[in-house]
Amino acid sequence: MKKLELGIVPIKDIQFASKSEVKDGVCYVNKDDIVNLLKDDENIENIELFIAKPGDSTRIMPVKDVIEPRVKVSGNGAMFPGMIAKVDVVGEGRTNVLRGMGVVTTGKIVAFQEGIIDMSGEGAKYTPFSKLNNLVVKVDTKEDVDKHRREASVRMAGLKTADFIGKLAKDIVAEEVETYETLNVKEGIAKYPELPRVAYVYMLQSQGLMHDTYVYGVDAKQSLSTMIYPTEVMDGAIVSGNCVSACDKNTTYHHLNNPVIKALFAEHGKTINFVGVIITNENVYLADKMRSSDWASKLCDFLGVDGAIVSEEGFGNPDTDLIMNCKKITAKGIKTVIITDEYAGQDGKSQSLADADASADAVVTGGNANMVIKIGPMDTVIGYPEVADIIAGGTAGSLKADGSIEAELQVITGATNEIGFNKFSAR
Amino acid sequence: MLKCVHYINQFFAGIGGEEKADVKPELRKGVVGPGSALNAQFKGEAEVVATVICGDSYFNENEKEALKTILDMIKSENPDFVVCGPAFNAGRYGVACGTVANAVKEELGLPVVTGMYEENPGADMFKTKVYIVPTKNNAAGMGEAVAWMAPLALKLAKGEEIGVSSKEHYMPNGVRTNFFDDKIGAERAVDMLIAKLQGKPFTTEYPMPSFDRVEPGKAITDMAHARIALVTSGGIVPKGNPDHIESSNAQKYGGYNIEGVDTLDSEHYETAHGGYDPSYANENPNRVVPLDVVRDMIKDGEIGSLHPYFYTTVGNGTAVASAKKYGEEIGKKLVDDHVDAVILTST
Amino acid sequence: MVKNIEKYGIPVVHVCTVTPISMTVGANRIVPAIAIPHPLGNPKLSADEEKVLRRNIVEKALKALETPVDKQTIFE
């Protein structure tokens, strides 16, 4: 059994100041504190900090990760176990959440899967992060640092910064407290004998550089499918290592605020008994795909669930992992709903998924990522606008002379998210 | 006021049932049968000025002739838009409604709406071509059907933007349209799961497609004299990606001359693919396009010869329609060069 | 792409890792590859060993092209 309280600390503004603190809903940041925190990493050459607020004429690109600052107030362990904190079980006690704020990392491009956040205008409609007060950490690594180490350095810089900011709110008494509780199998059956048992099958990208996810510090590709308490996810047990492919990969912010977990908790004890989360990966070897989907369906069976929601991350070959999971879980007599997004072509007329099966008769979609959008020029661009021509969804000439960008929706961070974060969809 | 012409069959015109199904097309001024329900739903914005009636058997047995007469009749009224049916589950009537609606759209260029039951054969034949409102399987659903068909027809006639199928209530027509839904995806998923668990009806947001098939090409009998071509969706390109093939949803493919090239080395080639960790392919592009071993096998006499170009695109979020087009174009070049077989590699 | 080349009557062998997708989209001759980022290679092997591995896969692909099929076939 695990019970976690989230203490909500609303953040209405971020300002640079001589002292780092959180006071009266404002996060004050002393830039030197962050620079000192990050400069020990010998791969890093330069660190710059910016603030981007909702409505600003500001574009951030290429965006790697977005993280919500949180801090453990009580209970075992600390945030981001295995990455920042020592490995120790999290997910109980109380955690303070700096709601309304994000730490966004940017820097020179590592690979194609990086995105754009616009704080106003057309592009802002599609990304949830335009609604946050963002502390943008721009990290540039030394020239001779290879891609994998560059990715790791920027990833860790984001997590360290979020951890530092989170700790500023450790002693603040939260305005509002949300409580989440998961019983063990025996207790759950005893308490809700009549309710259908439901699990969440949480697929994690695990295909190498820019496509990785870490669970308690373990690269998800090296793990068999396993179980995790939903509250562990809220305490940073799952961290994005993919620097965020723009539209449909999960940032650390998404993991911390997984809306499927939240929506299942909202019905827990009323219409369903939400028994827990099964995490499974999306690897590059077919044998892994088969083994992981076998395992995910076996765990569903083992938990005795009646229903499952399966969410995908990414697209293309992971569509097969999604379909395999759906097929195998359905074959155990379990009712299944899957969440995906679509690549139906710019005209919307093509096949949306790379794979298909009749068992996938209940599909929720985050929209067609191939839709072309035009986003106007911004007064401020934090990062490197020229990558618009090469990131996934861009094309040669995407970046116009006036600074506007014409590209597929793919380029917008979080636009067609597949854990159902957005209202955006397609029919 | 906008002018509407309504197409119905002999049964709804009150002429008769099966025994009268052979009546020829007829034009009557004003409303006939269900036209009055349509008129009521137009709420003063439009009016049924004429009704075209045709027997279902006559239409299906004399399609070409019947269609021409019907189109002429519709045209003679100079309408702003056309409504056909609804046909409910009447098979021949559904096919007639779909055929007429499609011709009205294609040949007369007029906005048109029809309605029928989802299992009506006319639905599968025409739902990607014209707007079809799903109806009940019998005429008891007339009121409901007309209440959806009329506003959709008015919107089309006024040239307004048509929203997604789930909002405007037409059958998904194969064109995926983005929009902002009322709830976030996670909540929609939980709602859908609860409905599924409780055995209540639910509607998937993406119906699974069916894929077409082609006849397998004939097996090669003499590989030692066969001409082979290499094609990949793994995005291997000359260094610098000279044609700027997109890292995702590629809008083009490239063909690159490899005459005299024995291996795709990392100095001259790389991947433009944005869907996988590029380190391995960049280190040795032969891992994606096996030119090195194919050259060896030609030397060893196992393969006859190699087509002088390799073709490449990025199969990452790339629309199936694009892939199809590239396949057709590449295939044509291969036929022209008398290529016998293709090795196509994917990542 | 596979299908639209094969429409011309030229046999195509699809060498790919995710054979289920290949089955779904309708390739007729399918040869499984090693992994998505290196379908015809394995960075863990020495250069020579890797080339042997690659040749084996291409040989399997040729065998597939030499084999008459009347339905979708995976050549394991």
What's residue A244's pLDDT? Answer: 54
In this complex, which of B217, B277, B303 lies closest to C6 when CB atoms are compared? B217
Q: Is residue B215 part of a domain?
A: no
Strands C12-16 vs C29-32: parallel, antiparallel or unpaired: parallel
Beta-carbon separation of B249 and A408 below 8 A: yes
Contacts C19 to A, Cβ<8 Å = 286
Among B174, B192, B274, beta carbon nearest to A337: B192
Active site residue A243: yes
* 24-63 in chain C: CB under 8 A from chain B: 24-26, 28-29, 33, 36-41, 43, 50-51, 54-55, 57-59, 61-62
Question: Which residues does residue A141 pair with via DSSP β-bridges, in sequence order?
Answer: A44
Distance from CA of A414 to the nearest CA of B (A): 13
Reply yes or no on whether the pLDDT at A266 is more than 80.
Answer: yes
- Does residue B317 surpass a pLDDT of 80? no
CB < 8 Å to B204, chain A? 360-363
Q: Is the peptide bond before A62 cis (omega within 30 degrees of 0)?
A: yes
Residue B173 lies in a domain: no
d(CA B149, CA A407): 36
**Same-domain check for residues B143 and B277:** no
Number of domains in chain B: 3
**Chain A residues whose beta carbon lies within 8 Å of the beta carbon of residue B190:** 260, 263-264, 266-267, 309
Chain A residues with a Cβ under 8 Å from any Cβ in chain C:
207-208, 284-286, 289, 317, 319-320, 323-324, 354-356
Cα–chain center distance at C53: 13
Chain B's closest residue to A367, CA to CA, is: B178
As to burial, measured by CB atoms within 10 angstroms (0-12 exposed, 13-18 middle, 19+ buried), residue A31 is middle
Nearest residue in B to C21, CA atom: B346
Q: Count Cβ atoms within 10 A of the Cβ of residue A162 and give its class: 0-12 exposed, 13-18 middle, 19 or more buried.
A: buried
pLDDT of res. A208: 80
Q: B182: which chain A residues are within 8 Å (Cβ-Cβ)?
A: 423
Closest CA–CA distance from residue A31 to any residue of chain B (Å):
34
pLDDT band at A396 (very low <50, low <70, confident <90, very high): confident
pLDDT in tens, A11-28: 999 999 999 999 999 999
- pLDDT bucket at A33, cuts 50 / 70 / 90: very high
pLDDT > 70 in chain B, percent: 99
Which residue from A minimizes the CA distance to C26? Answer: A355
Residue A147's pLDDT band, with cuts at 50, 70 and 90, is confident
Residues B141-186 pLDDT 10s: 999 999 999 999 999 999 999 989 989 999 999 899 999 999 999 9
The domain of B305 spans: 223-345
Residues present in chain B in total:
347
Q: Identify whether residues B260 and B156 lie together within a single domain.
A: no
Dist. CA A280–CA A324, nearest whole Å: 12
B77 within domain boundaries:
yes
Position A182 confidence tier, pLDDT thresholds 50, 70, 90: very high
With 0-12 / 13-18 / 19 or more C-beta atoms within 10 angstroms meaning exposed / middle / buried, residue A37 is middle
Nearest neighbour of A366 by CB, restricted to B183, B185, B187: B185
What pTM, to 2 d.p., does this model score? 0.83
Host H or E run for residue A257: none
Q: Are residues B261 and B303 in the same domain?
A: yes
Distance from CA of C14 to the nearest CA of A (A): 15
How far is residue A410's CA from residue A248's CA, in Å, rounded to a whole number? 8
For C4-44, what is each residue's pLDDT tens digit? 999 999 999 999 988 888 888 889 999 999 998 999 999 99
B274 in contact with C, Cβ within 8 Å: no
CB contact under 8 A, A392 and B316: yes
Residue C24: closest CA among chain A residues belongs to which residue?
A355
Closest chain A residue to the Cα of C36, Cα to Cα: A284
Among C16, C11, C25, C19, CA closest to C65: C11
- Which residue of B lies nearest to C68 if distances are taken between CA atoms? B219
Residue with more model confidence, A393 or B129 = B129
**Nearest CA-CA distance, residue C65 and chain B, Å:** 5
Same structural domain, B196 and B268: no
Name the closest residue on chain B to residue C26, using Cα atoms: B213
For residues A212-217, give the mean pLDDT.
95
Tokens of A84: 């920042």
Q: List all residues of chain B from 181 to 240 with a beta carbon under 8 Å from chain C.
A: 211-221, 223, 226, 231, 233-234
Contacts of C38 in chain B (CB under 8 A): 280-281, 287-288
CB-closest option in A208, A320, A356 to C18: A320
Contacts of A391 in chain B (CB under 8 A): 247, 274
CB spacing of B219 vs C70 below 8 angstroms: no
User: CB of B254 within 8 Å of any CB in chain A?
Assistant: no
User: Do the chains contact at C54 and B214, CB–CB below 8 Å?
Assistant: no
Give the B window 279-308 contacts with A, CB below 8 Å: 279
When the pLDDT of each residue in chain A is averaged and rounded to a whole number, the result is: 95
CB within 8 Å of B305: residues ≥ 6 apart: B226, B227, B228, B298
**What burial class does residue A189 get, using C-beta atoms within 10 Å of its C-beta: 0-12 exposed, 13-18 middle, 19+ buried?**
middle
B130 domain-assigned: yes
Flag whether residue B50 sits within 8 Å of chain C, measured between CB atoms: no
Instruction: Sort out which chain A residues have CB atoms less than 8 A from C24's CB and list them.
Output: 354-356
Catalytic residue among A243, A247, A300, A326: A243
Mode of pairing for the β-strands spanning B26-29 and B46-54: antiparallel
Q: What is the pLDDT of residue B209?
A: 81
Q: What pLDDT does A148 receive?
A: 87
* pLDDT tens digits, one per residue of B187-222: 999 999 999 999 999 999 999 887 678 889 999 999
Average pLDDT rounded to a whole number, residues B316-342: 90
pLDDT band at A342 (very low <50, low <70, confident <90, very high): very high
Size of the A and B interface in Cβ pairs below 8 Å = 226
pLDDT for B297 beyond 60: yes
**B16-24 — which CB contacts under 8 Å span 24+ positions?**
B20/B55, B21/B55, B21/B56, B21/B57, B21/B58, B21/B92, B22/B55, B22/B57, B22/B58, B22/B61, B23/B53, B23/B54, B23/B55, B23/B58, B24/B54, B24/B55, B24/B58, B24/B66, B24/B69
User: Model confidence over A158-180: pLDDT tens digits?
Assistant: 999 999 999 999 999 998 999 99
Residues of A in contact with C34 (CB under 8 A): 285
Residue B83 has pLDDT above 90, yes or no: yes
A27: left (phi over 0), alpha (psi -120 to 50) or beta: beta
Neighbours of chain B (3+ CB pairs under 8 A): A, C
Q: Establish if C37 touches chain A: CB-CB under 8 angstroms.
A: yes
Q: What is the mean pLDDT of residues A302-320?
A: 95
Q: How close C12 comes to chain A (CA, Å)? A: 19
Nearest CA in chain A to B181: A423
C-beta atoms of B176 and A348 within 8 A: yes
Cβ separation C32–A356 shorter than 8 A: no
Chains that touch A (3 or more CB pairs under 8 A): B, C
